[in-house]
Amino acid sequence: MAALITLPVGIFYRFVEPGTFLFWTGIVIGYFQLGCFFGPTFSTVQELVPENIKATVVSFYILTLNLIGLTIGSLGGGFCADILRSAGYAEPYTLMLVIFSIISIISIPCYYFAGIKYKADKITLEKTFS
């Protein structure tokens, strides 16, 4: 729900002048969005993993989040900005960030379906390890 509300602001603020109230409001909302996605995901991983392997799974989660997520995101963003610059766009980084923001819309149904499946996974975990 938070993503649906904050996504338009997250796209719009990239087109306003830096230093304005709208720009800084967009920056704050962008960081709020990060917390809205990573906080529940991190806590779900911790809650659905058995105690005896929790530290290993959480460590692997953080490792893959950083290695795969940041690497692919940074590399993809750089390639996208280079392609846009060579195509003659005046603001390739802004356009690339807007494109990535639009791609992030895919996460909304993914989180919705994960939320539906969460209760069943929690019950299965409790039956298996109690």
- pLDDT tens, residue by residue, 92-112: 999 998 898 888 888 889 888
Give residue-wise pLDDT tens across range 45-68.
Answer: 888 888 889 999 999 999 998 888
Give residue-wise pLDDT tens across range 35-51.
Answer: 888 888 888 888 888 88
- DSSP character string of 25-93: HHHHHHHHHHHHHHHHHHHHHHHHS-GGGHHHHHHHHHHHIIIIIIHHHHHHHHHHHHHHHHTT-S-HH
Number of independent structural domains in the chain: 1
Q: Which domain holds residue 25?
A: 2-129
- Residue 87: per-residue pLDDT: 96
> Is 123 a residue whose pLDDT tops 90?
no
66 CA to centre of own chain: 12
